[in-house]
Amino acid sequence: MANEHASKQYDLDLGAIRTRVLQMGGLVESQIRRAIDGLASGDLAALEQVIDDDHRVNAMEVALDGDTSHLIVRRQPAASDLRMIFAIAKTVTDLERIGDEAQKMARMAKAIHERGAAPLPPAVDVRHAAEAAIAMLRRSLDAFARLDCEAAQGVIRDDAGLDAEFRAILRQLITFMMEDPRTISTALEIVWIAKAIERIGDHAKNMAEYVIYIVRGTDVRHTRSPQPGA
């Protein structure tokens, strides 16, 4: 029967939006990576580029929100389609905020290097935390691409680890600041970078929660004990 392709166009439209979400995720991921690389290398031009590229992320958000509205108007989604659209609308916001965080990281890194301050030792830990955050983001995007609940739950679990890492970095930085108050400005900038990384983890976790909502139809947000404070 011809019905097998009765909703081909609908599937194509949905697929196109999902692909663009993943593209946005890829862009955001590269933003984080370039920011953290810039922090290490002090390549001001590269950091400048990250800051500039945020407008691309923003543009993608606006475009994807438009696509989502159009799909709602065109297709009146229900059931899993509606959950998908709804989750995409929310995910896009998180991705854009991750983009913002990456921009902030780049801005801080640029400030540190412009001032010519020697990077503090916790910068290494920051890099490690950043890698963890990138991994979380990538895995939540993967989970979204494959609608994989298991992977999404892994991301949610990992967020606690990232939070712990953030707190460790914070403690370290406080020690540094206390030991040498001249480092306070730089340390504070690194605090902001670490905070951004911690937030990226939070956003990745949100996205993972949306994946579970898409697949299972259950809202798993806020269902466990309150997250550890920032």
Partner 1 sequence: MMEQLLATKAEARSLSFYYGDFQALKGISMPVHERQVTALIGPSGCGKSTFLRCFNRMHDLYPGNRYDGQIILQPDNTDLLARSIDPIDVRMRIGMVFQKPNPFPKTVFENVAYGLRVRGERSRRAVEEKVEQALHDAALWDEVKERLHQPAYNLSGGQQQRLCIARALATDPELLLFDEPTSALDPIATASIEELMHDLKKRVTILIVTHNMQQAARVSDFTAYMYLGELVEFGVTDELFIKPQKKQTEDYITGRFG
Residue ranges that bind partner 1, judged by CB under 8 A: 1-11, 66, 69-70, 73-83, 217
Least spacing, CB of residue 184 vs partner 1, in Å: 50
Contact segment (CB under 8 A) with a second copy among 27-35, 115-123, 151-159, 181-189 equals: 181-189
The two tokens of residue 159 are 């967020």
Q: Work out how close the CB of 90 gets to a second copy at its nearest, in angstroms, rounded to a whole number.
A: 6
Token pair 């390549």: residue: 43
**Binding-site partner at residue 2 among partner 1, a second copy, none, CB < 5 to 8 Å by type:** partner 1
Task: Return the H-helix or E-strand segment holding 129.
Answer: helix 122-146
- Say if residues 146 and 90 touch (Cβ distance below 8 Å): no
Residues 63-82 that bind a second copy (CB under 8 A): 65-66, 68-69, 72-73, 76-78, 82
| Distance (Å, whole) CA 123 – CA 129 | 10
Contacted entry of a second copy, partner 1, none for residue 222, CB cut-off 5 to 8 Å set by kind: a second copy
Q: How far is the CB of 225 from partner 1 (least distance, A)?
A: 26
Q: Is 118 helix (H, G, I), strand (E, B) or coil?
A: coil
**Binding of residue 205 to a second copy (CB under 8 A):** no
| Integer Cα distance of 27 and 45 in angstroms | 18
Spatial CB neighbours of 166, under 8 Å, sequence gap ≥ 6: 129, 194, 195, 197, 198, 201, 230
SS3 (DSSP) at 149:
helix
Residue 96: CB minimum distance to partner 1, A? 20
104 binds, among partner 1, a second copy, none (CB under 5 to 8 A by kind): a second copy
d(CA 189, CA 185): 6
58 binds, among partner 1, a second copy, none (CB under 5 to 8 A by kind): a second copy
Count helices and strands in the chain by DSSP H and E runs: 6, 0
Residues of the shown chain interacting with a second copy in the complex, contacts defined by CB under 8 A: 51, 54-55, 58-59, 61-62, 65-66, 68-69, 72-73, 76-78, 82-83, 86, 89-90, 93, 103-104, 107-108, 170, 174, 177-178, 181-182, 184-185, 188, 191-192, 195, 219, 221-222, 226, 229-230
